[in-house]
Structure 1
């Protein structure tokens, strides 16, 4: 009689075991199905969104970031111009650099020729404005370029800088097609000492005037370089200025001959 009660308990547990197994199996199946449904269902949008207008679908629109390249691009019609990273160096020379040539204090550039874009224009010396910025050629002479006379003469070691307008109220100016230049194109500069120096384009960039790459343009070089600078981007009618600069980087690749 003493073991009848435990035996009865064991019999009841044995009878309940199949039911427990069935319930456990169903719970596992339901858990799996719930997991599958969670996996397949679309993600919920965050509540922290801002509507862009009365017809907004309240989705967060990613901000469009300007393209910034790790180095100055090659330029050309199939390579949209973009700024290089702020600390990027000038582009690598497209050809072997020619040894810089000697000049005197009186030597200056007199004419620049760029066959690719049909430029053949006189060059005048430019200094600084009262603001400390480089002076520019007068708008009354849209086909005149300006050489920064406080920097190197084209052909000397270092970066020589020549500026020109893209257009005026009367129409296209000397550097209206500057953005068409690309790596490998030739630029020739005639000098007052009778020498003609040829430069080969290394790269071109378009960059905001507010982020002008001073070190990349004016920084020291081991060879004779050339920088062409003009305007580009969006024209602001209120201020009368463009938003960007087009900058061409080139390295001297030939020297000699006689200017006409």
Structure 2
């Protein structure tokens, strides 16, 4: 009997080909993971604060935008905006919280304590008229209620604003001062740091205050929420 000749395997069924194909698949998977995973923040991209950290209503806040002071070339850091002259505040907007409220002037009472807006107008923001107006150098003060007996008030969600968000203060002359939030702090009313909150500044800054902490019918709220912000644009 003549022995049969063994037929050679096709090249695509050889062990060497299978090993080479497996190695190629491993390399492809490693490269794919490297491209798709670990989405780090690109250099120069906005970080904390989301869309409002870099724009308001489609206009650049930190970079002045169309019609805003202090515009800078693309890629260059924006210079500080020029402070504004005195003009009565008319409105206050916090876009990230949906706040858009009219402003009333506030004074100090007989005990040298800052007054608050009328309780029967919970959506009204008070602005200390003895301090800077929007965009002026120094530390401006805005105050609003967290809630009243009728329900939530204008600053019910103030403690939720985050650094990088915008606060826009309208003025009687038609200009708007745009502030960027630096930090949010909660202070016990029995140990309120007047010097830290009300300290004067050479640059235009803003403090926005409301109540916070626990509530008691006898003594009211135990704390104050304070938002610290500084001027980053005018328009």
Under a length normalisation based on structure 2, what TM-score does the superposition of the two structures give?
0.65
> Within 5 Å, which residues of 2 pair with 1:1-260?
98-104=80-86, 107-239=87-219, 241-256=220-235
**1:181 Cα deviation from its structure 2 partner:** 0.5
CA distance in 2, matches of 1:132, 1:96: 39
**1:97 Cα deviation from its structure 2 partner:** 7.0
5+ residue gaps in structure 1? 1-74, 77-94
5+ residue gaps in structure 2? 1-47, 50-76
CA distance in 2, matches of 1:145, 1:229: 10
- Asked which structure has the greater CA Rg, the reply is 1
CA contact (8 A) 2:184 2:225 kept: yes
CA contact (8 A) 2:185 2:226 kept: yes
* Consecutive aligned runs of 4 or more in structure 1 exceeding 2 Å deviation: 95-102
CA contact (8 A) 1:227 1:247 kept: yes
Give the paired residue count: 161
CA distance in 1, matches of 2:193, 2:80: 25
CA distance in 2, matches of 1:197, 1:253: 8
User: What SS class does the counterpart of residue 216 from structure 1 fall into?
Assistant: helix
CA contact (8 A) 2:134 2:176 kept: no
CA distance in 1, matches of 2:217, 2:97: 27
**1:221 Cα deviation from its structure 2 partner:** 1.0
**1:100 Cα deviation from its structure 2 partner:** 4.2
**1:242 Cα deviation from its structure 2 partner:** 0.5
**1:149 Cα deviation from its structure 2 partner:** 0.5
Specify which structure has the higher proportion of strand. Answer: 2
User: What SS class does the counterpart of residue 210 from structure 1 fall into?
Assistant: helix
CA distance in 2, matches of 1:97, 1:147: 27
